[in-house]
Amino acid sequence: MKKYQIIREDLKQKIQLGEYVEGDLLPSENELCSTYFITRTTARKALDELLKEGFIERKHGKGSVVRERRKSLGLLNVKGFSDAVGDNVRTVFLQKPVISSWSRSIHFPVSDAEKDMPCIYFERLRYVGDVPVMLESNWIADFGMTGIIESEFVEGSFFRTLSRNYSIEIIGSEQELRAEFASKEIAELLQVKIIAPVLHISVKFKTSQPKLNIYSELYCNTENYPIGNSYNI
């Protein structure tokens, strides 16, 4: 790798491992020059790369500030869920991560490269207070992610787990939304009437690992919580 790429990867790893957290200032260009024995041009290029990848933002008069990348992905969410705090929000695993087969219920086509890998599957039910608002099923190919089945998610987040433990970042997504009638199973889980309308969202999350995607099928009760734009697993 070129020198600026080495600096970028070093800083990125420190962000992923939590040495720099959201709101922290990264070293200035001058400080990077002293630490890594590089020119300001190289330091600036490394920071520019982190800016493009969404790891930092530039604030006038301050410098390069670590940002919360998930807020800028343009994914989907039940409004209020990600921002709510304390006991008002909880997640219940209906199925903790296990090695499974690829499901026919996945809407987006799974690549042949992924099908050749073992599949990790987990299912969760999201609540706001005592109200279940989202049933979430997820599949991802196991590209040598040692320990992901046995360990708890970092801060309860699958995205954070991928970032900090495996240096895998979410870089975008494809989504399709459909209004459907609730089946008996979904109606019971979301506490709605059978054939009540629910929002079915199919999402294909793209990652920084080539040919590795996360496939999610979401069923949402939007009666009290409309859909927003920053969904986080």
C-alpha to C-alpha distance for 220 and 192, rounded to whole angstroms = 11
If asked whether residues 111 and 216 sit together in one domain, one would say: yes
Same domain, 187 and 82: yes
Residue 82 pLDDT more than 50? no
For the domain that residue 47 is a member of, what is the CATH number? 1.10.10.10
- Tell me: do 85 and 47 sit in the same domain: no
Co-location of 91 and 137 in the same domain: yes
- The CA distance from 161 to 150, in Å, is 12
More confident site: 123 or 225: 123
How much is the average pLDDT of 194-212?
90
Spatial separation of the C-alpha atoms in residues 40 and 223, rounded to whole Å:
54
- Identify whether residues 76 and 43 lie together within a single domain: no
Which of 67, 82, 110 represents a domain boundary (last residue)?
Answer: 67
In a domain, 196, yes or no: yes
Q: pLDDT tier at 227 (50, 70, 90 boundaries)?
A: low
State whether 115 and 178 are in the same domain.
yes
167 and 187 both lie in a single domain: yes
Q: How many domains does the chain have?
A: 2
C-alpha distance from residue 60 to each of 15, 23, 55, 57 (Å): 21, 14, 17, 10
Candidates 214, 212, 149, 143; CA nearest to 175 is 214
Predicted pLDDT at 72: 36
Distance (Å, whole) CA 89 – CA 130: 9
Q: Is 163 exposed, middle or buried (0-12, 13-18, 19+ CB in 10 A)?
A: buried
pLDDT at position 83, please?
A: 42
Distance CA 110, CA 203 (A): 12
Domain residues for the domain of 19 are 3-67
- 233 located within any domain: no
Measured at the alpha carbon of residue 11, what is the angle toward residues 7 and 15, in degrees to the nearest 5? 165
Taking a C-beta distance cutoff of 8 angstroms, is the pair 133, 78 a contact?
yes
pLDDT of residue 182: 92
Does one domain contain both 215 and 155? yes
pLDDT of amino acid 156: 85
Distances (CA, A) of 84 to 30, 78, 91, 128, 129: 39, 11, 13, 8, 10
Determine what percent of the chain is predicted with pLDDT higher than 90.
Answer: 50
Which residue's entry shows tokens 């889980």? 189
Q: What pLDDT was estimated at residue 233?
A: 67
* Residue 87 reports pLDDT greater than 60: no
Highest-scoring range by mean pLDDT, 10-19, 100-109, 157-166, 224-233: 100-109
Q: In whole angstroms, give the CA distance from residue 113 to residue 176.
A: 23
Does the pTM surpass 0.75? The reply is: no
**Which of 44, 67, 90 is the endpoint of a domain?**
67
Same domain, 94 and 209: yes
213: its two tokens: 């995607």
60: in domain = yes
Q: What is the mean pLDDT of residues 89-100?
A: 92
CATH label of the domain that carries residue 169? 3.40.1410.10
> pLDDT averaged over the chain?
85
- Scanning the structure block, which residue is given the tokens 């459907």? 180
Contacts of 7 (CB under 8 A, 6+ apart): 32, 36, 38, 42, 43, 46
b/e per residue 194-226 (b: at least 16 CB within 10 A): eeeebbbbbbbbbbebeebbbbbbbbbbeeebe
Q: What is the pLDDT of residue 167?
A: 85
81 within some domain: yes
Task: Using the predicted structure, report yes or no on whether residue 43 has a pLDDT greater than 80.
Answer: yes
* Same domain? 37 vs 137: no
